[in-house]
Amino acid sequence: MDLPVGHVSDSLPNQELTTNAHTFDSHPRARERYATIWMMKKQTVIALVLVLLIPVVLVVGGMLFSLINPEIAAGHTNYVRNYHILSLVKHASFFATLAVAGILWLLACFLIVRSKERSSWWLFLAALGPWGFAILARLKDRASGETDRYGRFVRRLNWFVRAGYEVCTFVTIWLLAYEAMVLKRNLMILYESATTGVSTAQIIATQNASSGMWAFGEGMEVMYMVVLLYLLWPIVFNIVGRVASMMASPKAH
């Protein structure tokens, strides 16, 4: 039995509203906005992964540098030639490690600049290390009017409060990075004492004897932690904000 034309035309829109009500958030402009936010987050996550790879590259490169010993050519024919070849490979591995770490650093800074749709000229701040990265991480987003929780929080601050917030964040991150380095140093001393049987006092005395080398290494660790914390802070802020909103939503209803 055929239904009236008017009945069919009225029922189909109602049925479509019922079955596809959840797709109204997929408006082209909404999809474009969500895609932009996702791309910004994706680039930040990739930058975080690249930064995490830097110490891995340095450790592997250092191990390779230590394993290559030109003196193993002693006692063999063409000793001079083999020695020079091994020496060349040893030094090449050192510079290759630095080059790969530098490329990872530049790529991470480039992704931060790109996620904010800023000019590539900002990439020159990468030469300033963690200080330049602090500026890049705090650049205003130009990607979209809509952004994540952290972006909305920062945009609501006026310039005076924003300046105070950035200064406090800078100081807090450097303090946290320093405390993380101290914690890591103490844990390594305890681990070395437990595995070697040497007292912690002797280990500390040995480190103090070469304080310059240890100070340089610990300074590099602090600067690395600063960069890592600057990358993690917006991510942690968004996660905490999302969890808080999810916990508060049942109470609202």
Are residue 23 and residue 88 in the same domain, yes or no?
yes
Are residue 111 and residue 171 in the same domain, yes or no?
no
CA-CA-CA-CA torsion sign (133, 138, 139, 142): positive
Residue 130 lies in a domain: no
Are residue 159 and residue 206 in the same domain, yes or no?
yes
CA 138-140-141 angle, 5° bins = 115
Are residue 76 and residue 36 in the same domain, yes or no?
yes
pLDDT score, position 229: 92
Are residue 105 and residue 20 in the same domain, yes or no?
yes
Tell me the two tokens of residue 62. 């250092």
Report pLDDT digits (tens) over 19-77: 444 443 445 544 544 444 455 578 888 998 999 999 999 999 989 988 888 877 676 67
Are residue 27 and residue 115 in the same domain, yes or no?
yes
Q: Indicate whether this model's pTM tops 0.75.
A: no
User: Of 121, 156, 187, which residue sits at a domain end?
Assistant: 121
Question: Are the C-beta atoms of residues 102 and 123 closer than 8 Å to each other?
Answer: no
* pLDDT band with cut points at 50, 70 and 90 for residue 244: confident
Are residue 109 and residue 152 in the same domain, yes or no?
no
Residue 207 lies in a domain: yes
Residue 129 lies in a domain: no
Average pLDDT on 119-128 reads 90
User: Position 219: which residue type?
Assistant: G
Are residue 170 and residue 252 in the same domain, yes or no?
yes
pLDDT score, position 5: 46
Q: With pLDDT > 70 as the criterion, what percentage of the chain qualifies?
A: 77
Question: Are the C-beta atoms of residues 189 and 204 closer than 8 Å to each other?
Answer: yes
* pLDDT band with cut points at 50, 70 and 90 for residue 16: very low
Between the ranges 87-91, 105-109, 196-200, where is the mean pLDDT highest? Answer: 105-109
Residue 234 lies in a domain: yes
Are residue 159 and residue 229 in the same domain, yes or no?
yes
Question: Are the C-beta atoms of residues 113 and 138 closer than 8 Å to each other?
Answer: no
Report pLDDT digits (tens) over 151-191: 778 888 888 888 899 899 999 999 999 999 999 989 998 98
Are residue 109 and residue 170 in the same domain, yes or no?
no
- What is the domain extent for residue 51? 14-121
Residue 134 lies in a domain: no
Which DSSP string do the residues of 103-123 spell out, in sequence order?
A: HHHHHHHHHHHHHTT--GGGG
What is the number of structural domains in the chain?
A: 2
